Chains A and B, each alone.
Chain A
Amino acid sequence: MSELIHTIREKSQELLAAGRVDGILCLVRDRFDVVQPRLIFRAEEIGSIETSPKWNLAKLALQTIRQSGPSFRLAVVCRGCDERALLELAKRNQFDATRITVLGYTCSREQAESCLCVRPYPEKPLAGEKIEGVDPFADPRVSALLTGDEGKRMARWAGLLSRCIKCYGCRNACPICVCTPCKLEDDLWVERAVVPTELIPYHLIRAFHLSDTCVACGACQDACPVGIPLLTLQLLMRRRLQERYAYEAGLEADRKSPLLMDFDHASPAGFELPAWTVSSEAPHER
């Protein structure tokens, strides 16, 4: 067992034993050697906590919090991308974030490369050492999609996007996609019953709609059955936001998105941001 997992299991044990959380959302390796998500309530199950494969849990965490009573407190064993997704959801007032404790762990170089991750760590990791992220635009998988003249790029993207079979997996897997009704379903943009979807209404509206919320976790791309490079689409949006406003979704707890500009530069009022947004654990007080 790696030291990283050991630390996480120990901390989980401690939190449950002390009654500081009521449940732990994590990945477990079952007795058949298969990893899957699970909501753990008992200390006996802690020995099976796992940290790979990559499996974003932020959306499950959000659902769990929303569907439980207001005093139910949840710990989430997760990577940096999940922590950022949770922070973004908290900033967007999607759940009472003081009920969440993040047990964050860092990712390896290999994991960072495979995810094209700029920041392969939570802000204050419980386990593991922070390593430097990768520059996704230096990666050939991304750069190959962004080079060449406009006609060629357009043809390449149109070819990839026309594979879409409207599984809605990108939307379903995205931790931030929680709008009701979803823009893809409001019958303004996306024609029903037609595949491939039209390029602009489905994919570009989704990309723009997430422009200042996407935390680049890549869950959309992981869920895509037909290999559309959805993360690259979002990376472009994120880069623009960074260049223009030095803003990155999922990072600064007390700074709201520049796209929500209201000429008032005071910090968001009316709700309190939890301490775990800058530390790995919420200071629970009973």
Chain B
Amino acid sequence: MSAESVRERTPRDLPRGMSEKTEDMVPIEDRSGSTACCGEVRFVRTTCPYCGTGCGVILKVEGGRLTRTLPDREHPVSRGTLCVKGWSAHEFVASPDRLTQPLLRDGDSFRPIPWDEAIALAAGKLRETADRHGPDAVGGLSSAKCTNEENYLFQRLIRAAFRTNNVDHCARLCHAPTTVAMVQTLGSGAMTNSIADLAGADFILVIGSNAAESHPVLMGEIYKAIDRGARLVVVDPRRTAVAENAAEHLRIRPGSDIPLLNGMMRHLVDAKLYDEAFIRERTEAFPEFLEYLKGWTVEGAARETGIPTEKIREIAEGYARAPQAAVVYCMGITQHACGTANVIAVCDLAMLCGQVGKEFSGIYPLRGQNNVQGACDMGALPNVFPGYQAVSDPTLRAKFAQAWGVAELTDRPGLTVTEMISQAGKGIRALYIMAENPMLSDPDVTHVMHSLKKLDFLIVQDIFLTETARLAHLVLPGACFAEKTGTFTNTERRFQLLRRAVAPPGEALDDFAILCRLSRALDVPVPYDTPAAAMEEIAALCPAYGGIRHSRLEKAGLQWPCPHLDHPGTRFLHQGRFSRGLGHFVRPDHTPPQEMPDREYPFYLSTGRMFAHYHTGTMTRRSPFLNREKEGAYAEIHPEDAARLTVGPGDMIRISTRRGSIVTAAVLTTRVAPGTVFVPFHFAEARANVLTNPVLDPVSKIPEFKVCAARVEKEAVDGKP
């Protein structure tokens, strides 16, 4: 309604003299056909569907529709605050684009089919593939957007129905190195402390995380620490929003994190600033590690990172001397061909200085998705059952086989996300993808599309017809966070309840129900129908979650490990003893980025996120308020480079790598260093992952999203350059 129409309609309502001020405050509307009561209004406490911070949201439901999202002032993590995505969490739920019926491919389009037919077809095709091509011809991509119970049922179905371990999910693309490296060094692949602990740290080193945009509410805890007098040092090739607010921003050359961390550690060893007692009592393999560090120098680190030697020494000493020092890291550390070694170096630094195993300090890998921690915990990984129990252990296999009502389970490790996609049409003949969008999220998406098209049968279960679902033979309509119950586990290992506020649209079903039906159609018994009952099965099989019950999560959730029903949960890990016993110093062997700028492709290309959008944009781009903030694709380029290329703000530029090219709008900013271009990966019309290099970290199989070589040209418009 415009201010004018208001004025015309209701002039008598406006007190004299108030019109100047009140014109933009829309006065009362008369509602005709009034009822005495305003109808059903409910407030449903639940958990935000976006990032791994796991904020508490309250959904306002009016007449069966979500109308608002409010912050939960009683929530243990977010305490009455939300970021812009959280405040808008209800907006995509009722989008007209939601899938409402199972869809079967019919030539180039889809036609709706009934659920019974869809389930029978899915089960039949998967079974037929396994029978014809062997169990490992079937694969499943589970989802960090779905609940713990759904992830649990998903891997249970794949493992029990087909005797394969081909199950993985997008953690492969974000924190696979964290789980591998932290298990190797400390024994547990999760954030060591709690989000609120950050507020108590005296020195916070943020490497490769733009928490201010990607984990905004968690960033608030870092500001609390700063307000208490803590020092924030940020290491990042970009001048991110975190860097803007740091005491010190060190602009590191992309992919040189290990030289920096090793240089810091070498200085601490030379200056005898490391924690000798901690190393003696709590760790092993330190002598060998010392020997290894002799091969590194501060000067060498300065050469490789572009950070002056005195700064390297200064931040090393700041970290070591602080009573409580925390390291926060994210994709800037993990998304490299040496991602695992990068995380190892972070763990080594923490152990060297004794800054782990106590409150406030510790190692803080920030998990990206709302439930990526949980999807890992629930065994949606090709080498472990739920609770990180190895598939190679015959006793564990027998335990799970018995619980799942099947004769046996296989010990053959399965394929990862990236391997399943590259094997599509070859070793993998049928793929079941639940709520993942590899057509935007995986590296070199042109290759992904060619691979997925080679599959005999592709099932995609999602809430929207995503770029990936468009390639499917069968599309199953699932439910979003507001339409189901279950649990999410946030980045601080906190199991939190998800509560159903509205019904899924049309015939869409909650994913748990779909998985129950599909399991039974594949002769895998599921002796329950509710997520709460599934959690009891999970608790019985996984010692670390033994005390988790939905009924115990109502007030504030529980942080694992929580081994029994009286256990209060664990605020920080490794107290007195590391999960693996002694902390293990491992050599972080450095591999430089696999593709460096050269004459032909002179720019560094890096990818990431921006504050108003989330990952592949399926939800945020359908939220009017978020989409308003940024509607279209863009790339950040330094003004000096732009001037050289005669590119002005908003001009279209073509970015090319050896994989492909995209055309997008230029944003001129000094956030990026000269010679660097940054592309957010939210936008389907200019997919950053057309460009990225699919080279993998050999240990964790994470792709090197963060660095590759690119060429930037001004795009000709109507034949005019």
Residues of A near any B CB (own CB < 8 A): 22-23, 32-39, 41, 53-55, 63-64, 66-72, 91-96, 159, 162-163, 165-169, 172-173, 178-181, 183, 185, 192-193, 195-196, 222-227, 256-257, 259-262, 264, 266, 268-271
Question: Separation in Å of the B212 CB from the closest CB of chain A?
Answer: 6
30 A-B residue pairs with Cβ-Cβ distance under 8 Å, sorted by A, are A34-B554, A37-B43, A39-B38, A41-B37, A63-B68, A64-B38, A93-B22, A94-B28, A162-B244, A165-B84, A165-B213, A165-B216, A165-B219, A167-B83, A167-B87, A169-B87, A179-B25, A180-B26, A195-B212, A195-B213, A225-B82, A225-B216, A260-B17, A261-B17, A264-B16, A268-B18, A270-B12, A270-B14, A270-B16, A271-B15
Asked if B219 and A92 make an inter-chain contact with CB atoms under 8 angstroms apart, the answer reads no
Those 8 A-B pairs whose CB atoms lie nearest each other, nearest first: A69-B34, A68-B38, A268-B15, A262-B17, A32-B554, A225-B81, A193-B630, A179-B24
Contact call B81/A38, Cβ cutoff below 8 A: no
B residues apposed to A, CB below 8 Å: 1, 12-18, 20-22, 24-31, 34-39, 41, 43, 45, 58, 62, 68, 70-74, 78, 80-84, 86-87, 212-213, 216-217, 219-220, 223-224, 227, 241, 244-245, 554-555, 610-612, 625, 628-630
B21/A259 in contact, CB under 8 A = yes
Residues of A within 8 A of B217 (CB): 225
Q: Which residue from A64, A91, A268 sits with its C-beta under 8 Å from B41?
A: A64
Rounded to whole angstroms, the CA-CA distance of A192 and B610 in the bound complex is 12
In the assembled complex, which residues on chain B have CB atoms less than 8 Å from the CB atom of A32?
Answer: 554-555
Count, A-B residue pairs, CB within 8 A:
191
Q: What CA separation (Å) do A172 and B68 show in the bound complex? A: 10
Once bound together, how far apart are the Cα atoms of A260 and B84, in whole Å? 33
In the bound complex, how far is the Cα of B87 from the Cα of A195, in angstroms? 17
Complex: A196 Cα to B24 Cα, angstroms = 27
Do B73 and A69 have beta carbons less than 8 Å apart?
Answer: no
B22 in contact with A92 (CB, 8 Å) = yes
Assuming the contacts A36-B45, A166-B611, A180-B24, asked whether A226 and B220 have C-beta atoms less than 8 A apart, the reply is: yes
Contact A36 B74 (CB under 8 A): yes
Closest to B220 in A: A225
Listed residue (A22, A165, A192, A223) with the most chain B CB atoms within 10 angstroms of its CB: A165
**A66, B29: Cβ atoms under 8 Å?**
yes
Asked if A256 and B17 sit within 8 Å, CB to CB, the answer is yes
B424 to chain A: closest CB distance in Å?
Answer: 36
Q: Is the CB of B35 within 8 A of A196?
A: no
Decide yes or no: A227 and B223 within 8 Å by CB, A72-B37, A96-B28, A193-B630 being known contacts: yes
- Contact across chains for A178 and B555 when beta carbons are under 8 A apart: no
Measured between beta carbons, the chain A residues less than 8 angstroms from B555 are: 32-34
Q: Which residues of B are found within 8 Å of A94, using beta-carbon distances? A: 25-28
Complex contacts, B81 vs chain A, CB 8 Å: 167, 169, 222-225
Using Cβ atoms and an 8 Å threshold, which residues of chain A touch B39? 68
Question: Do A178 and B73 have beta carbons less than 8 Å apart?
Answer: no
Residues of A within 8 Å of B212, CB to CB, are: 163, 165, 195-196, 226
Least CB distance, B423 to chain A, in whole angstroms: 39
**Cβ of B38 and Cβ of A67 under 8 Å apart?**
yes
| Cα A167 to Cα B87 with chains together (Å) | 8
User: Is there contact, CB below 8 Å, between A178 and B26?
Assistant: yes
Which residues of A sit under 8 angstroms from B37, Cβ to Cβ? 22-23, 41, 68-69, 72
